[in-house]
Amino acid sequence: MALLLCVAASLAVHQLTPAPAATVAALAAVSDLPAGKTLAPEDVVALDVPAGLVPGGSFSTPAAVQGKQLAVALRKGQLLSDAQLLGPGLLAGSPPGSAAVPLRLADPDSIQLLSPGQLVNVVMTSGSGFEQPAASQVLAAAVPVLWTSAQGGKAGPWPASGGAEGLIVVAADPGQALRLAGASTLGKLFFVLVGTTPD
């Protein structure tokens, strides 16, 4: 009788004990890392993380991110995904058909005011104000900034080092991308900070 009670108790404990959560390897920052940093294997560590907590586009080995450049700052222990690196991953969550468009601004120093995620109106000014009347037009309204040369401008998918001064990258829909492409050759480009997307 005692043996049967022990077996019953063991079965009850087994049924009440939850199964261990499945884990997968994911990379996390070993320290606070600044935007624009080119990653080395010692900047990240592989952790066993519950599968449900791992972001899409994550990496499992330090070699997978070696040489890639951070588009945003990371806090110590923060998990890394492609949405935080320069490259196509920055468009994660953008509407279908969105494009990452590089722009060269007329005032490179103004880029110090920008951070990824801010919304801007891109304005083109043409004409000299003397022989030709100056005119301004909004080429794209409330587009999010993906990257700026103020974050480092080191070699990476966008853009190559050496010509990064004055560049920003914005996410644009197909119509906006068409208007923005090559706009810096037609006039001077500026930005206006905006708070929210238009209705």
Q: Which of 145, 186, 187 is nearest to 167 (CA)?
A: 145
Residue 15 pLDDT: 57
CA atoms within 13 A on the CB side of 21: 9
Residue 53 pLDDT: 87
Q: Which of 71, 82, 80 is nearest to 144 (CA)?
A: 71
* Secondary structure class of 124 (helix, strand, coil): strand
Q: How far apart are CA 105 and CA 145, in angstroms?
A: 13
Burial 7-19 (b: 16+ CB within 10 A, else e): eeeeeeeeeeeee
For every residue of 155-196, DSSP letters joined together read SSSSS-TTS-TTEEEEEE-HHHHHHHTTGGGTSEEEEEEESS
Q: Where are the domains of the chain?
A: 22-85, 92-194
Residue 165 pLDDT: 73
For the CA atoms of 167, 170, 173, 178, the dihedral, rounded to the nearest 10 degrees, stands at -10
Per-residue pLDDT in tens (0 to 9) along the chain, 199 residues: 554 445 445 555 555 555 566 889 999 999 999 877 889 999 999 999 998 888 889 999 999 999 988 888 889 999 999 988 888 888 888 889 999 999 999 999 999 899 888 999 999 998 665 666 678 899 999 999 988 887 654 434 444 444 567 889 999 999 999 999 988 888 999 999 997 654 4
Q: Hey, what CATH topology would domain 22-85 get? A: Type Iii Antifreeze Protein Isoform Hplc 12 (3.90.1210)
Residue 142 pLDDT: 94
Contacts of 102 (CB under 8 A, 6+ apart): 158, 159, 167, 168, 169
Residue 105, burial from CB neighbour count under 10 angstroms (0-12, 13-18, 19+): buried
